[in-house]
Amino acid sequence: MNDMRDRRLRFALIGGGPGSFIGPVHRIAAELDREIELVAGAFSSDAERSRAAGLSYRIDPARAYSDIATLLAAEAQRPDGVDFVTIATPNHHHLPAARAALEAGVAVLSDKPATATLAQARTLAAVISQTGTPYALTYTYSGYPLMREARARVAAGAIGSIRKVVVEYPQGWLAADTDSKQAAWRMDPDKAGPGGCIADIGVHAFHLAEFVTGLKVVRLLADLGSVVPSRTLDDDCQLLLRFENGARGVLLASQVMLGERNGLRLRIHGDRGGLDWRQETPNTLLIHHADGRTEIVQAGDASLGPDARATTRTPGGHPEGYLEAFANIYRDFARRLRGENAPLLPGIADGLRGMALIDTAVTASREEAGWVDFIV
Protein backbone atom coordinates (compact mmCIF):
# COMPACT_ATOMS: atom_id res chain seq x y z
CA MET A 1 0.00 0.00 0.00
CA ASN A 2 1.38 3.41 -0.99
CA ASP A 3 1.04 5.49 2.18
CA MET A 4 1.40 8.72 0.18
CA ARG A 5 -1.99 8.28 -1.45
CA ASP A 6 -4.16 9.99 1.12
CA ARG A 7 -1.97 12.61 2.68
CA ARG A 8 -0.04 15.75 1.83
CA LEU A 9 3.49 15.02 0.60
CA ARG A 10 6.48 16.47 2.45
CA PHE A 11 9.50 17.84 0.66
CA ALA A 12 12.87 19.46 1.26
CA LEU A 13 14.41 22.15 -0.88
CA ILE A 14 18.10 21.87 -1.75
CA GLY A 15 19.17 25.40 -2.72
CA GLY A 16 16.71 28.28 -2.62
CA GLY A 17 18.71 30.21 -0.03
CA PRO A 18 18.53 33.96 0.63
CA GLY A 19 18.48 35.95 -2.61
CA SER A 20 18.16 32.90 -4.86
CA PHE A 21 16.00 33.04 -7.96
CA ILE A 22 14.15 29.79 -8.48
CA GLY A 23 13.98 28.28 -4.95
CA PRO A 24 11.08 30.47 -3.78
CA VAL A 25 9.24 29.72 -7.06
CA HIS A 26 9.52 25.99 -6.29
CA ARG A 27 8.10 26.60 -2.81
CA ILE A 28 5.07 28.45 -4.17
CA ALA A 29 4.47 26.01 -7.02
CA ALA A 30 4.77 22.95 -4.80
CA GLU A 31 2.29 24.27 -2.27
CA LEU A 32 -0.28 25.75 -4.67
CA ASP A 33 -2.63 22.77 -4.59
CA ARG A 34 -2.10 21.86 -0.90
CA GLU A 35 -0.94 18.42 -2.03
CA ILE A 36 2.67 19.13 -1.05
CA GLU A 37 4.32 21.03 1.80
CA LEU A 38 7.85 22.36 2.31
CA VAL A 39 9.03 20.99 5.66
CA ALA A 40 12.85 20.93 5.43
CA GLY A 41 15.82 22.12 3.45
CA ALA A 42 19.53 22.46 2.89
CA PHE A 43 19.00 25.88 1.39
CA SER A 44 22.62 27.01 1.11
CA SER A 45 26.12 25.54 1.39
CA ASP A 46 26.54 27.97 4.29
CA ALA A 47 24.88 26.69 7.50
CA GLU A 48 23.99 30.16 8.78
CA ARG A 49 22.35 31.13 5.49
CA SER A 50 20.47 27.83 5.40
CA ARG A 51 19.11 28.58 8.88
CA ALA A 52 18.09 32.09 7.80
CA ALA A 53 16.26 30.66 4.79
CA GLY A 54 14.49 28.11 7.00
CA LEU A 55 13.15 30.99 9.12
CA SER A 56 11.97 32.90 6.05
CA TYR A 57 10.17 29.81 4.73
CA ARG A 58 8.57 29.40 8.20
CA ILE A 59 9.61 25.78 8.58
CA ASP A 60 10.67 24.16 11.87
CA PRO A 61 14.16 25.69 12.41
CA ALA A 62 15.51 22.26 13.39
CA ARG A 63 14.81 21.09 9.82
CA ALA A 64 16.99 23.72 8.12
CA TYR A 65 20.15 21.66 7.65
CA SER A 66 23.72 22.58 6.70
CA ASP A 67 23.96 20.08 3.81
CA ILE A 68 22.02 17.33 2.07
CA ALA A 69 23.83 14.43 3.77
CA THR A 70 22.85 15.73 7.21
CA LEU A 71 19.32 16.35 5.96
CA LEU A 72 18.86 12.83 4.60
CA ALA A 73 20.26 11.21 7.75
CA ALA A 74 18.09 13.30 10.10
CA GLU A 75 14.90 13.04 8.02
CA ALA A 76 15.27 9.23 7.81
CA GLN A 77 14.96 9.11 11.62
CA ARG A 78 11.65 10.98 11.67
CA PRO A 79 8.24 9.33 11.31
CA ASP A 80 7.25 12.41 9.29
CA GLY A 81 10.46 12.60 7.21
CA VAL A 82 10.50 14.02 3.69
CA ASP A 83 9.02 12.11 0.75
CA PHE A 84 11.18 13.88 -1.81
CA VAL A 85 13.76 16.58 -2.34
CA THR A 86 13.74 19.34 -4.92
CA ILE A 87 17.16 20.30 -6.27
CA ALA A 88 17.46 24.00 -7.10
CA THR A 89 21.21 24.53 -6.74
CA PRO A 90 23.65 25.54 -9.50
CA ASN A 91 24.16 22.76 -12.06
CA HIS A 92 27.41 21.24 -10.71
CA HIS A 93 25.61 20.27 -7.52
CA HIS A 94 22.71 18.46 -9.23
CA LEU A 95 24.43 15.07 -9.57
CA PRO A 96 25.85 14.80 -6.02
CA ALA A 97 22.57 15.96 -4.50
CA ALA A 98 20.41 13.69 -6.68
CA ARG A 99 22.66 10.69 -6.15
CA ALA A 100 22.66 11.13 -2.35
CA ALA A 101 18.85 11.31 -2.25
CA LEU A 102 18.18 8.51 -4.73
CA GLU A 103 20.60 6.15 -2.97
CA ALA A 104 18.83 6.94 0.31
CA GLY A 105 15.52 5.98 -1.37
CA VAL A 106 14.25 9.57 -1.41
CA ALA A 107 12.60 10.70 -4.66
CA VAL A 108 14.06 13.66 -6.58
CA LEU A 109 12.51 16.52 -8.50
CA SER A 110 15.45 18.35 -10.08
CA ASP A 111 15.66 21.61 -11.86
CA LYS A 112 17.19 21.64 -15.33
CA PRO A 113 19.67 21.01 -16.81
CA ALA A 114 19.84 17.50 -15.35
CA THR A 115 23.52 17.88 -14.44
CA ALA A 116 26.52 20.00 -15.45
CA THR A 117 27.92 17.55 -18.03
CA LEU A 118 26.67 14.75 -20.27
CA ALA A 119 28.94 12.23 -18.50
CA GLN A 120 27.33 13.19 -15.18
CA ALA A 121 23.87 12.75 -16.69
CA ARG A 122 24.80 9.22 -17.79
CA THR A 123 25.97 8.46 -14.26
CA LEU A 124 22.70 9.87 -12.93
CA ALA A 125 20.67 7.75 -15.35
CA ALA A 126 22.50 4.64 -14.08
CA VAL A 127 21.79 5.58 -10.45
CA ILE A 128 18.10 6.10 -11.25
CA SER A 129 17.87 2.74 -12.93
CA GLN A 130 19.82 0.92 -10.18
CA THR A 131 17.84 2.45 -7.30
CA GLY A 132 14.42 2.56 -8.98
CA THR A 133 13.73 5.74 -7.00
CA PRO A 134 11.44 8.25 -8.77
CA TYR A 135 13.15 11.17 -10.52
CA ALA A 136 11.70 14.00 -12.63
CA LEU A 137 12.81 17.32 -14.10
CA THR A 138 11.20 20.76 -14.06
CA TYR A 139 11.04 21.63 -17.73
CA THR A 140 8.57 24.24 -16.62
CA TYR A 141 7.18 25.39 -19.95
CA SER A 142 5.70 21.97 -20.70
CA GLY A 143 3.42 22.62 -17.71
CA TYR A 144 1.46 25.37 -19.46
CA PRO A 145 -2.09 24.24 -20.28
CA LEU A 146 -1.89 25.65 -23.82
CA MET A 147 1.37 23.83 -24.52
CA ARG A 148 -0.37 20.61 -23.52
CA GLU A 149 -3.32 21.61 -25.71
CA ALA A 150 -0.94 22.32 -28.60
CA ARG A 151 0.71 18.96 -28.15
CA ALA A 152 -2.64 17.17 -28.18
CA ARG A 153 -3.83 19.07 -31.28
CA VAL A 154 -0.60 18.39 -33.17
CA ALA A 155 -0.89 14.69 -32.30
CA ALA A 156 -4.50 14.69 -33.53
CA GLY A 157 -3.36 16.12 -36.89
CA ALA A 158 -4.74 19.67 -36.47
CA ILE A 159 -1.87 21.20 -38.47
CA GLY A 160 -1.12 18.15 -40.58
CA SER A 161 2.33 16.80 -41.18
CA ILE A 162 4.99 19.04 -39.58
CA ARG A 163 7.33 20.84 -41.97
CA LYS A 164 8.83 23.71 -40.00
CA VAL A 165 9.56 24.43 -36.33
CA VAL A 166 10.81 27.79 -35.08
CA VAL A 167 11.56 28.06 -31.38
CA GLU A 168 13.14 31.20 -30.04
CA TYR A 169 14.15 32.12 -26.51
CA PRO A 170 15.56 35.65 -26.36
CA GLN A 171 16.61 37.33 -23.12
CA GLY A 172 18.67 40.48 -22.55
CA TRP A 173 19.81 40.31 -18.92
CA LEU A 174 23.36 39.16 -19.77
CA ALA A 175 23.99 41.77 -22.47
CA ALA A 176 26.89 43.18 -20.42
CA ASP A 177 29.07 42.08 -17.51
CA THR A 178 27.01 42.07 -14.32
CA ASP A 179 27.82 41.27 -10.72
CA SER A 180 24.58 39.34 -10.14
CA LYS A 181 25.21 36.02 -8.41
CA GLN A 182 22.90 34.28 -10.86
CA ALA A 183 25.15 35.45 -13.71
CA ALA A 184 28.36 34.53 -11.89
CA TRP A 185 27.78 30.79 -11.68
CA ARG A 186 25.97 30.57 -15.04
CA MET A 187 29.09 31.85 -16.80
CA ASP A 188 31.54 29.72 -14.74
CA PRO A 189 32.28 26.40 -16.53
CA ASP A 190 33.11 24.72 -13.19
CA LYS A 191 29.57 25.38 -11.98
CA ALA A 192 27.42 25.62 -15.11
CA GLY A 193 29.16 22.98 -17.26
CA PRO A 194 30.32 23.47 -20.87
CA GLY A 195 27.25 25.44 -21.95
CA GLY A 196 26.18 28.95 -20.94
CA CYS A 197 23.01 30.19 -22.60
CA ILE A 198 22.47 26.85 -24.36
CA ALA A 199 22.39 25.10 -20.95
CA ASP A 200 20.39 27.79 -19.22
CA ILE A 201 17.56 28.43 -21.68
CA GLY A 202 18.44 26.56 -24.90
CA VAL A 203 17.47 23.28 -23.26
CA HIS A 204 14.03 24.68 -22.36
CA ALA A 205 13.41 25.68 -25.99
CA PHE A 206 14.64 22.32 -27.24
CA HIS A 207 12.49 20.34 -24.82
CA LEU A 208 9.39 22.36 -25.65
CA ALA A 209 9.88 21.91 -29.41
CA GLU A 210 10.17 18.13 -29.04
CA PHE A 211 7.36 18.01 -26.46
CA VAL A 212 4.80 19.79 -28.62
CA THR A 213 5.77 18.31 -31.99
CA GLY A 214 6.17 14.79 -30.63
CA LEU A 215 9.19 14.58 -32.93
CA LYS A 216 12.84 13.99 -32.07
CA VAL A 217 15.72 16.04 -33.44
CA VAL A 218 18.19 13.82 -35.31
CA ARG A 219 20.72 16.30 -36.80
CA LEU A 220 21.82 19.84 -36.01
CA LEU A 221 24.12 22.65 -37.05
CA ALA A 222 25.24 24.94 -34.23
CA ASP A 223 26.71 28.42 -34.08
CA LEU A 224 27.30 29.50 -30.47
CA GLY A 225 29.20 32.60 -29.40
CA SER A 226 30.28 34.70 -26.44
CA VAL A 227 29.30 38.23 -27.33
CA VAL A 228 30.56 39.72 -24.05
CA PRO A 229 34.36 39.41 -24.28
CA SER A 230 35.02 38.41 -20.64
CA ARG A 231 33.05 35.16 -21.08
CA THR A 232 34.28 31.69 -21.97
CA LEU A 233 30.78 30.21 -22.14
CA ASP A 234 28.23 31.04 -24.85
CA ASP A 235 25.71 33.82 -24.37
CA ASP A 236 24.22 33.78 -27.89
CA CYS A 237 23.17 30.62 -29.80
CA GLN A 238 21.59 29.72 -33.10
CA LEU A 239 20.94 26.18 -34.23
CA LEU A 240 19.45 24.64 -37.34
CA LEU A 241 17.55 21.46 -36.55
CA ARG A 242 16.45 18.47 -38.59
CA PHE A 243 13.62 16.40 -37.10
CA GLU A 244 13.12 12.67 -37.51
CA ASN A 245 10.35 13.17 -40.10
CA GLY A 246 12.60 15.43 -42.21
CA ALA A 247 11.07 18.71 -40.94
CA ARG A 248 13.47 21.63 -40.65
CA GLY A 249 13.75 23.78 -37.55
CA VAL A 250 15.47 26.82 -36.10
CA LEU A 251 16.36 27.26 -32.43
CA LEU A 252 17.48 30.67 -31.24
CA ALA A 253 18.54 31.17 -27.63
CA SER A 254 20.24 34.37 -26.57
CA GLN A 255 20.85 36.30 -23.38
CA VAL A 256 22.35 39.38 -25.01
CA MET A 257 19.26 40.67 -26.85
CA LEU A 258 18.73 43.94 -24.99
CA GLY A 259 15.07 44.67 -24.35
CA GLU A 260 14.05 41.02 -24.36
CA ARG A 261 12.89 39.59 -21.05
CA ASN A 262 11.72 36.00 -21.29
CA GLY A 263 10.53 35.88 -24.89
CA LEU A 264 10.13 32.14 -25.38
CA ARG A 265 8.00 31.62 -28.51
CA LEU A 266 7.13 28.45 -30.39
CA ARG A 267 5.87 28.31 -33.96
CA ILE A 268 5.11 25.03 -35.71
CA HIS A 269 3.88 24.77 -39.29
CA GLY A 270 2.48 21.72 -41.00
CA ASP A 271 0.90 21.02 -44.38
CA ARG A 272 -2.60 21.85 -43.03
CA GLY A 273 -1.88 24.80 -40.74
CA GLY A 274 0.33 26.25 -38.06
CA LEU A 275 0.43 27.28 -34.42
CA ASP A 276 2.03 30.13 -32.53
CA TRP A 277 2.47 30.54 -28.75
CA ARG A 278 4.37 33.08 -26.65
CA GLN A 279 5.33 32.50 -23.05
CA GLU A 280 4.83 36.15 -22.11
CA THR A 281 1.17 35.93 -23.21
CA PRO A 282 0.63 32.27 -22.28
CA ASN A 283 -3.15 32.26 -22.21
CA THR A 284 -3.51 32.62 -25.96
CA LEU A 285 -2.60 30.07 -28.62
CA LEU A 286 -3.02 30.91 -32.29
CA ILE A 287 -3.96 28.15 -34.70
CA HIS A 288 -3.60 29.06 -38.37
CA HIS A 289 -5.74 27.09 -40.82
CA ALA A 290 -4.84 26.37 -44.44
CA ASP A 291 -7.87 28.36 -45.67
CA GLY A 292 -6.43 31.54 -44.15
CA ARG A 293 -8.47 31.66 -40.93
CA THR A 294 -6.65 32.14 -37.63
CA GLU A 295 -8.33 30.62 -34.59
CA ILE A 296 -7.64 32.20 -31.19
CA VAL A 297 -7.59 29.50 -28.53
CA GLN A 298 -7.88 30.91 -25.00
CA ALA A 299 -6.89 29.20 -21.77
CA GLY A 300 -10.00 28.08 -19.91
CA ASP A 301 -12.12 27.67 -23.06
CA ALA A 302 -14.72 24.92 -22.82
CA SER A 303 -13.43 23.57 -26.12
CA LEU A 304 -10.02 22.61 -24.72
CA GLY A 305 -9.01 18.98 -24.50
CA PRO A 306 -8.51 16.97 -21.29
CA ASP A 307 -4.76 17.66 -20.88
CA ALA A 308 -5.33 21.43 -20.86
CA ARG A 309 -8.51 21.29 -18.78
CA ALA A 310 -6.81 19.13 -16.15
CA THR A 311 -4.08 21.73 -15.72
CA THR A 312 -6.23 24.88 -15.62
CA ARG A 313 -7.27 26.24 -12.23
CA THR A 314 -9.18 29.47 -13.00
CA PRO A 315 -12.22 30.18 -15.20
CA GLY A 316 -11.66 31.52 -18.71
CA GLY A 317 -10.56 35.16 -18.74
CA HIS A 318 -8.78 34.88 -15.37
CA PRO A 319 -5.13 34.65 -16.37
CA GLU A 320 -2.77 31.96 -15.14
CA GLY A 321 0.96 31.93 -15.76
CA TYR A 322 4.39 30.74 -14.74
CA LEU A 323 3.63 29.72 -11.15
CA GLU A 324 0.64 27.61 -12.18
CA ALA A 325 2.63 25.98 -15.01
CA PHE A 326 5.34 25.13 -12.48
CA ALA A 327 2.67 23.82 -10.12
CA ASN A 328 1.43 21.49 -12.87
CA ILE A 329 4.84 19.80 -12.91
CA TYR A 330 4.58 19.38 -9.13
CA ARG A 331 1.06 17.97 -9.44
CA ASP A 332 2.27 15.43 -11.98
CA PHE A 333 5.17 14.52 -9.71
CA ALA A 334 2.83 14.03 -6.74
CA ARG A 335 0.73 11.73 -8.94
CA ARG A 336 3.81 9.74 -9.87
CA LEU A 337 4.77 9.31 -6.20
CA ARG A 338 1.24 8.18 -5.40
CA GLY A 339 1.49 5.50 -8.05
CA GLU A 340 -0.77 7.25 -10.58
CA ASN A 341 -0.11 8.03 -14.24
CA ALA A 342 1.71 11.22 -15.17
CA PRO A 343 2.72 10.63 -18.80
CA LEU A 344 3.68 14.25 -19.57
CA LEU A 345 6.10 14.61 -16.66
CA PRO A 346 9.67 15.17 -17.94
CA GLY A 347 12.16 12.57 -16.70
CA ILE A 348 15.73 11.43 -17.08
CA ALA A 349 15.28 10.60 -20.79
CA ASP A 350 14.45 14.27 -21.37
CA GLY A 351 17.35 15.22 -19.11
CA LEU A 352 19.77 13.14 -21.18
CA ARG A 353 18.51 14.73 -24.41
CA GLY A 354 19.06 18.19 -22.93
CA MET A 355 22.59 17.33 -21.82
CA ALA A 356 23.34 15.80 -25.23
CA LEU A 357 22.08 19.00 -26.86
CA ILE A 358 24.51 21.11 -24.81
CA ASP A 359 27.42 18.74 -25.47
CA THR A 360 26.75 18.34 -29.20
CA ALA A 361 26.08 22.03 -29.85
CA VAL A 362 29.10 23.28 -27.91
CA THR A 363 31.45 20.80 -29.60
CA ALA A 364 30.01 21.20 -33.10
CA SER A 365 30.14 24.98 -32.88
CA ARG A 366 33.69 25.10 -31.49
CA GLU A 367 34.90 22.76 -34.23
CA GLU A 368 32.82 24.53 -36.90
CA ALA A 369 31.69 21.02 -37.80
CA GLY A 370 28.61 22.00 -39.84
CA TRP A 371 25.78 19.47 -39.77
CA VAL A 372 26.28 16.68 -37.21
CA ASP A 373 24.18 13.74 -36.09
CA PHE A 374 22.38 14.27 -32.80
CA ILE A 375 22.91 11.10 -30.81
CA VAL A 376 22.00 10.73 -27.15
Could you list the residues that contact ligand NAD (CB under 6 A)?
14-17, 20-23, 42-45, 88-91, 93, 111-112, 138, 140, 181-182, 185, 200
The nearest distance, CB 351 to ligand NAD, in angstroms, is: 12
3-class DSSP state of 213: helix
Please give the residue whose beta carbon sits closest to ligand NAD in the complex.
17
The nearest distance, CB 365 to ligand NAD, in angstroms, is: 20
Distance between CA atoms of residues 359 and 7, nearest Å:
41
State which residue, 131 or 138, has the beta carbon closest to ligand NAD.
138
Query: Among candidates 32, 357, 364, which has minimal Cα distance to 197?
Result: 357
Distance between CA atoms of residues 36 and 276, nearest Å:
33
State which residue, 196 or 270, has the beta carbon closest to ligand NAD.
196
State which residue, 14 or 159, has the beta carbon closest to ligand NAD.
14
The nearest distance, CB 191 to ligand NAD, in angstroms, is: 9
CB 144 within 8 A of CB 285: no
The nearest distance, CB 154 to ligand NAD, in angstroms, is: 23
The nearest distance, CB 216 to ligand NAD, in angstroms, is: 22
State which residue, 17 or 274, has the beta carbon closest to ligand NAD.
17
Q: Which residues contact 342 (CB under 8 A, 6 or more apart)?
A: 332, 333, 335, 336
Distance between CA atoms of residues 154 and 157, nearest Å:
5
Distance between CA atoms of residues 338 and 149, nearest Å:
25
The nearest distance, CB 239 to ligand NAD, in angstroms, is: 19
CB 333 within 8 A of CB 149: no
State which residue, 5 or 181, has the beta carbon closest to ligand NAD.
181
State which residue, 159 or 199, has the beta carbon closest to ligand NAD.
199
The nearest distance, CB 25 to ligand NAD, in angstroms, is: 7
Residue 190: C-alpha distances to residues 15, 91, 105, 116, 193 (Å): 17, 9, 28, 8, 6
Distance between CA atoms of residues 206 and 216, nearest Å:
10
The nearest distance, CB 117 to ligand NAD, in angstroms, is: 13
Amino acid at the residue 376: V
The C-alpha R_g of the chain, in whole angstroms, comes to: 20
State which residue, 13 or 257, has the beta carbon closest to ligand NAD.
13
Q: Which residues contact 37 (CB under 8 A, 6 or more apart)?
A: 8, 9, 10, 11, 30, 31
The nearest distance, CB 182 to ligand NAD, in angstroms, is: 5
| Interior angle at CA 79, CA 74 and CA 83, nearest 5 | 75
State which residue, 114 or 304, has the beta carbon closest to ligand NAD.
114
CB 99 within 8 A of CB 69: no
Query: Among candidates 133, 49, 157, 158, which has minimal Cα distance to 83?
Result: 133
Helical (H) or strand (E) element with 361: helix 348-366
State which residue, 111 or 234, has the beta carbon closest to ligand NAD.
111
Amino acid at the residue 44: S
